[in-house]
Structure 1
Amino acid sequence: MKTKIIIALIGVISIISSWQNNVNAQESKKGMVKVTILYPNGEDKTFDMDYYSNKHMPMLKTLMGDSLKFYEIDKGISGRTPDEPMPYLAIGYLYFDKLSDYQESFGPNAEKIVGDIPNYTNIQPILQISEVLH
């Protein structure tokens, strides 16, 4: 009985360790390329966060493959003060090792990616490509 418990505990520890390694691997590093996709707030702007989080961004990961190291999603909740509306309904971040990784993985999939935008928003996104410095 003790042997089975020890084996089970080792298995749980192994799973937790693997999960922590995956989480730690999803950190930006100096020199990486970050593609920021901003969805400005405004009158009559709509955004389906559920679709974006559960369908659009996972689709990007599938289409871009190993070139896309990881992605993050921010959901706007407030402006600078409680009375100010949030400036962005959502912000997406895509992380790549280098600019060419983004260009080579986005280019062949651009039509499918851009074509999916009307499924979750009526906003024309703003895109910023940056180098991670810190």
Structure 2
Amino acid sequence: MTVHCTVLYPNDDDATFDMKYYLATHMPLVQEKFGPFGMSGYSVLKFQNGPDGSKPQYSVQATLHFDKAESVGKASKEAGEPVFGDVPNFSNKSPIFLVADVVDDKS
């Protein structure tokens, strides 16, 4: 079963995030390191304020697409060090990770 690993970056008042670095350097690194473990692709979202002007709880979301749940764990364990070690180069906040089975997808 296909799984998605969602990576969320907090939007705290003191949070910093370098989107240019993230897109040009970090995400290609993620694909390079995790691709051999079943990561087929990813998407990146930058959250906007709500319709009422409220600030979102998170600033950025990356969704990593994997072929199966075991692949996420194996990629993290065997190739995660350079990926996780790169986070301070673009953000001063630690991300939150969520792994989910894809139960329906019309994209």
TM-score by length of 2: 0.89
Is the CA contact (8 Å cut-off) linking 1:76 and 1:87 kept in structure 2?
A: no
Higher strand share: 2
Partner of 1:53: 23
Consecutive unaligned residues of structure 1, counting only runs of 5 or more, are 1-30
1:100 aligns with 2:70: yes
1:76 aligns with 2:47: yes
Matched-pair identity in %: 33
- Please list every run of at least 4 consecutive aligned residues from structure 1 whose deviation after the TM superposition is greater than 4 angstroms: none
Partners of 2:34 and 2:9 lie apart in 1 by 21
Higher relative contact order (CA 8 A, sep 6+): 2
Higher helix share: 1
Alignment-mate amino acid for residue 61 of structure 1? Q
**How far 1:42 sits from its partner (Å)?**
1.2
**How far 1:121 sits from its partner (Å)?**
0.2
TM-score by length of 1: 0.72
Partner of 1:20: none
Partner of 2:97: 127
Q: How many residues align?
A: 103
Partner of 2:80: 110
Partners of 2:9 and 2:101 lie apart in 1 by 20
Root-mean-square deviation (CA), in Å? Answer: 1.2
